Amino acid sequence: MITRRKAIPTLIGSATLAGIADVISAGAKDFQIGACDWSIGQQQNIAAFDVAKRIGLEGLQVSFSDPGKPFDLRDQKVREQYYRKIDETGIQMASLGMGILNQKPLATHPDAINWVNDAIETIAKIAKEEPDKKPSVCLLAFFGKGDINGKPELMETVIQKLKTVSEKAEDNGVVLGIESLLSVDDHLKVIDGVGSKNIQVYYDSANSNKMGYNIYEEVVKLGAERICEVHCKENKNWIGEGVVDFAKFRDSLNTAGYKGWLIIEGSTPDGADLVKSYRKNMGELDRIFRGRE
């Protein structure tokens, strides 16, 4: 096997330094495939890494809740447990996810923005303790009680609250991803209203499709610079057997320039085995997005 270090001198004879940089960076830009810890039955539980390894995933979106819950990443001892588990399983921490905001909304709960601030600080601590294990994205959920779609006054409240943490997010290399039922234009209103490149869209294929939005056009309009991560999802169907045309979705993401994480959520038919379903879903994404059989 030729290592990257041994390959570089060989390349120098036939490529410019710029060309070498392209060769090295190309692999780093490939899509990576993970899942939400809650979707594999292990919400905010370190056991999610063992399940992810059984499935064959490459990463996990890890839940980050209000203080005091089990496996709270605010606690250094808990973070150390995660570091050891990442080393043991080889599963990366792709991102954090704040599903708690569906029950305790960012727009209306007095403590919610403080928890977002906690998430930024926690990622900053991970960056100092174990830089190679640092996630750069934190999903902010806006469903259920937290839904702001069609509610301009709540959208404005969210904009003002996000302004209070956006500078800290920028300083620490943390992207806050809005996952919501908003259209692409309303997402852009929030992003432009905050005025920070670190406020982006966490795009969910199934949610937006269910709302009647043209998901293939939306991701192109957003562009890679405003999409921090993507949920690949079908509601009660395996990926490839539902309503989303994932080959077309791939083409749209390629046009947008997005090459980041694909995080599987849901996509398990009623009564189906979870591990087998996620292996099937990952295999389908692997085939569609990376051309692997």
The residue among 26 and 222 whose pLDDT is bigger is 222
**Confidence band, pLDDT 50/70/90 cuts, at residue 25:** very low
Say which residue, 3 or 141, is predicted with more confidence: 141
Write out 126-180 in H/E/C secondary structure.
HHHHCHHHCCCEEEEEECHHHCCCCCHHHHHHHHHHHHHHHHHHHHCCCEEEEEE
- Separation CA 209–CA 229 (nearest Å): 17
**DSSP H or E segment with residue 82:** helix 76-89
State the average pLDDT for the chain.
90
Band (pLDDT 50/70/90 cuts) for residue 291 is: confident
Continuous segment of H or E residues that includes residue 265: strand 261-266
Q: What percent of the chain has pLDDT over 90?
A: 87
pLDDT band per the 50, 70, 90 thresholds, residue 292? low
CA distance 159 to 13: 52
Neighbours of 36 (CB within 10 A): 24
What letter would DSSP give residue 263? E
Whether the per-residue pLDDT at 209 is higher than 50: the answer is: yes
pTM, to two decimals: 0.88
Q: In 3D, which of 174, 177, 168 has the Cα closest to residue 142?
A: 177
Confidence of residue 30 (pLDDT cuts 50, 70, 90): confident
- pLDDT, residue 18, reads 38
Rounded Cα gap, residues 185 and 196, in angstroms: 16
- Tokens linked to 248: 């077309």
Q: Which CATH superfamily is domain 30-290 in?
A: Divalent-metal-dependent TIM barrel enzymes (3.20.20.150)
Domain ranges of the chain: 30-290
Query: What b/e readout covers 165-200, taking b as 16+ CB neighbours within 10 angstroms?
Result: bbeebeebebbbbbbbbbbbebbebbbebbebebbb
Mean pLDDT of 201-230: 97
Run of H or E residues at 228: strand 227-234
